[in-house]
Amino acid sequence: MEEFWNKRYDSESYIYGKEPNVFFRCKLDEITPGRILLPAEGEGRNGIYAARCNWEVDAFDLSVSGQMKAMNLADEYGVQINYKTGSMDNIPFAGNTYDVVALLFAHWPESLRAAYHQKLISFLKPGGFLILEGFSKLNLQYTEKYPQIGGPRDIGMLFSVDEIKSDFADLEILILEAKEVELSEGENHKGTGHVVNFVGRYNG
């Protein structure tokens, strides 16, 4: 998996672009800046946006190539983020710390998904928010027409509203919907697709 992503990121260009995901940006803009954790941060577009908005950013990913590109992007914008290589199996940060945990297109093997999601709840402070956008199971119907939309082809790695509701049952649901979306994020998220959007609050 690590090799797969290192190879994917081994290019000059940012495969998901340098700008943040739109759902993430809109939701983050509604919250007073504090501390944010971004698991599976890739090339850094979302964490660097948060840092530009005065958030204190911790991030991690399996991919050292993703980390290097993120650090270059941070330099480009003149901001700092604390980005470690690491895995969801062994998250390199402390729990009960964050005002926001944000998962953008972070897809896991089906057998691990629920445990990974539940683990992330323990990283939120009381009152903290979990923001998620990821491809829904219906996205598979869009990939023929829009091959550049991206997303796993394994249906078990794609999300449903019911799975997200159950994984994050300890959070108060503020937004939970599956919907069609137009993505224009680099060369690898381009076209019409289908996502699950979620915002939940941990009330302690």
Nearer to ligand SAM, 156 or 204 (CB): 156
Which residues lie closer than 8 Å to 198 by C-beta, 6 or more apart?
130, 131, 132, 133, 164, 168, 173, 175, 176
Residue for token pair 């199971």: 137
40 contributes a contact to ligand SAM by CB under 6 A: yes
At 132, the amino acid letter reads: L
Q: Which one of the spans 35-43, 71-79, 135-143, 168-176 is the region binding ligand SAM (CB under 6 A)? A: 35-43
End-to-end Cα spacing for the chain: 34
Which is nearest to 190 in space by CA: 181, 199, 179?
Answer: 181
Q: How many CB atoms lie within 10 A of CB 186?
A: 18
Applying CB under 6 A, which part among 27-35, 42-50, 68-76, 166-174 lies near ligand SAM?
Answer: 42-50
DSSP state of 111: H
Name the nearest CA neighbour of 59 among 76, 80, 32.
80
What span, in angstroms and rounded, lies between the C-alpha atoms of 201 and 204? Answer: 9
Query: Closest approach of Cβ 115 to ligand SAM, in Å?
Result: 11
Residue matched to tokens 């604390």: 82
* One of 61, 74, 124, 131 touching ligand SAM (CB under 6 A): 61
Residues 16 and 42: beta-carbon distance below 8 Å: yes
Number of residues that bind ligand SAM (CB under 6 A): 19
The reply on whether position 16 binds ligand SAM by CB under 6 A is yes
Residue 87 or 118: the one with the smaller Cβ distance to ligand SAM is 87
- Is the Cβ of residue 84 or residue 172 nearer to ligand SAM in the bound state? 84
Which 8-state DSSP code applies to residue 159?
B
Considering only 37-45, 93-101, 169-177, 193-201, which stretch makes contact with ligand SAM by CB under 6 A?
37-45
Q: Which one of 63, 97, 139, 143 is in contact with ligand SAM (CB under 6 A)?
A: 63
**Which of the stretches 57-65, 123-131, 158-166, 168-176 binds ligand SAM when contact is defined by CB under 6 A?**
57-65
**41 in contact with ligand SAM (CB under 6 A):** yes
Question: Which tokens go with 69?
Answer: 């590109």
132 binds ligand SAM (CB under 6 A): no
Give me the residues that bind ligand SAM (CB under 6 A), please.
1, 5, 16, 21, 39-42, 45-46, 61-63, 66, 87-88, 104-106
